Amino acid sequence: MAEEQEEREESLHGLEKLRATRIEKGEALRAAGANPYPYRFEVTHSVAAVREQEKALAEAGAHVRVAGRVMALRGHGKTAFGHIEDSSGRIQFYVKRDDVGDDVFRRFELVDLGDIAGIVGTVFRTRTDELTIKVESLELLSKSIRPLPEKWHGLTDKEIRYRQRYVDLAVNPEVREVFVKRSRLVETVRRFLLARGFLEVETPVLQPLYGGASARPFTTHHNALDMTLYLRIANELYLKRLLVGGFERVFEFSKDFRNEGIDRSHNPEFTMMECYAAYLDYMDYMDMMEAMVAEVARELTPNGQATFDGRTMDFTKPWKRLRFFDALREKTGVEFFGVAEKELAAHAKRLGVHVEKGAPASVIIDEVFSALVEPGLQEPTFIYDYPKELSPLAKDHRSVPGLVERFEGYIGGFEVCNAFSELNDPLEQRRRFEQQMENRARGDEEAQVLDEDFLRALEYGMPPAAGLGVGIDRLTMVFTDNHSIRDVILFPHMRPEDGR
């Protein structure tokens, strides 16, 4: 521990010396009449555009104006080479004192790795055939007084990378690509839904009652109204109110918040896409989910396939479909359907799944499924026809008492979507809410609360409908081959830093 502390202090001392040197360089620029933080720079070409237009630019002797972060520097007396990187890529530049003059070259000598600069020049190929910008003028656009980590020995600690995502993005282009893909994924899903007549809407993030999922909320207080409010755990109940109001197809990309633990597939703040359509049922949405993910795969991959955790996921094929209790029986050899609560608890104990004493049947079944079945659902799979106790907002199964019309989609061992034939009988919905309140009284803190306004809305009449929720973060994990949700969230939640 003492050696680690000493190394840390030496590192901090070295960092402070580097910062002081860079600050001095910034002051030297000011003394020479140059602002190290100017207001603008006219960019005519991205790096990608220079590469695409290389032949025409070189033949015309055209000047290009490129801006970005200086990522490499090496000097040879009166000449120097470096690399500048913008959001589209990296390109070499070449500076020669005899070409730019003493003033520009002295200004260049005050440039450090990590500085943001603008360069003006012409393009050519070096003797090693590397596309290069021959610099005629250079302007420092932002002096970096804190050095970037070394490429190979720097930002490797994941905790630091999550906490200082801005540095992670600056030095790791492959991380930037993850979030470019995430944006394209969202765009593809949005385009898919709009093409099918869905209307994008917005619903409240601050809610007087939380509902639409089984989770604990974050709580806040509104001073002017003197009332408790909750950050939404889902937007389901508001979107279904819109079906009552006459919108037949609606969707929303929503930030949801659940006061729960953090693991590879859970973050307290996450993104869902929920969509609801009148006159459809859960089987319609099963087909729609397959088609939507296949379209995402076509957009993000060359052949409709994604590699996740060493497995090739082929989204051009139909997903495997398996009923909930059949999946449990296949995995455990035990029948869970129609079994009394006491016997369910005994099954869980024999199978090595811990459940709290007195837990209701819904919790026991869910714990066993999560522990024993879910991790094995690696290939794209729909689990459907869930027990009624687990699904207080889903419609009763039309042919099997005790079940509801619900499915969840799994990829890579975790859930990526959830869908129902939506319950629109207000009297049955009230009974379901009341059962949830009984579960809450027995200690289930994630049981849903009774929402009188939602029940009132249903009493005006909601058309038969189906709803689908898709975890955008988790789907992004699959299509970028990342195994932690924090790798696909730009700024994941972290514990406070020491001393903060």
- Quick one: tokens of 372? 């024993």
Note the pLDDT tens digit of each residue in 310-363.
Answer: 999 999 999 999 999 999 999 999 999 989 889 999 999 999 999 988 888 888
| pLDDT at site 306 | 95
Q: Are residues 106 and 224 in the same domain?
A: no
Q: Give the range of the structural domain holding residue 98, as residue numbers without chain letter.
A: 11-148
| pLDDT at site 176 | 95
CATH of the domain at 118: 2.40.50.140
Q: Are residues 192 and 142 in the same domain?
A: no
Does 298 reside within a domain?
yes
| pLDDT at site 151 | 55
Q: Are residues 130 and 198 in the same domain?
A: no
Does 279 reside within a domain?
yes
Does 313 reside within a domain?
yes
Nearest to 446 by CA among 268, 259, 301, 306: 259
- Distance between CA 325 and CA 339 in Å, rounded? 11
Q: Are residues 66 and 127 in the same domain?
A: yes
pTM exceeds 0.85: yes
Q: Are residues 247 and 384 in the same domain?
A: yes
- Distance between CA 404 and CA 409 in Å, rounded? 16
- Distance between CA 293 and CA 309 in Å, rounded? 18
Torsion of CA 439, 440, 441, 445, to 10 degrees: 130
- Quick one: tokens of 275? 């969509």
Mean predicted confidence (pLDDT) in 382-395: 92
Q: Are residues 187 and 39 in the same domain?
A: no
For residue 23, CA distances in Å to 36, 51, 112, 117, 170 come to 10, 34, 11, 16, 20
Nearest to 292 by CA among 465, 201, 376, 416: 416
Cβ–Cβ under 8 Å, residues 152 and 171: no
- Which residues partner with 407 through β-bridges? 384, 419
- Please state the domain count of the chain: 2
Q: Of 148, 180, 203, which closes a domain?
A: 148
Does 160 reside within a domain?
no
Does 157 reside within a domain?
no
Q: Are residues 110 and 242 in the same domain?
A: no
- Distance between CA 445 and CA 437 in Å, rounded? 10
Q: Are residues 409 and 475 in the same domain?
A: yes
Q: Are residues 139 and 177 in the same domain?
A: no
Q: Are residues 97 and 138 in the same domain?
A: yes
Q: Are residues 79 and 209 in the same domain?
A: no
Q: Are residues 127 and 212 in the same domain?
A: no
- H or E segment to which residue 261 belongs: none
In the chain, % of residues over pLDDT 70: 96
pLDDT at 423 over 80: yes
CATH of the domain at 200: 3.30.930.10
| pLDDT at site 38 | 96
- Quick one: tokens of 125? 């190929």
Does 43 reside within a domain?
yes
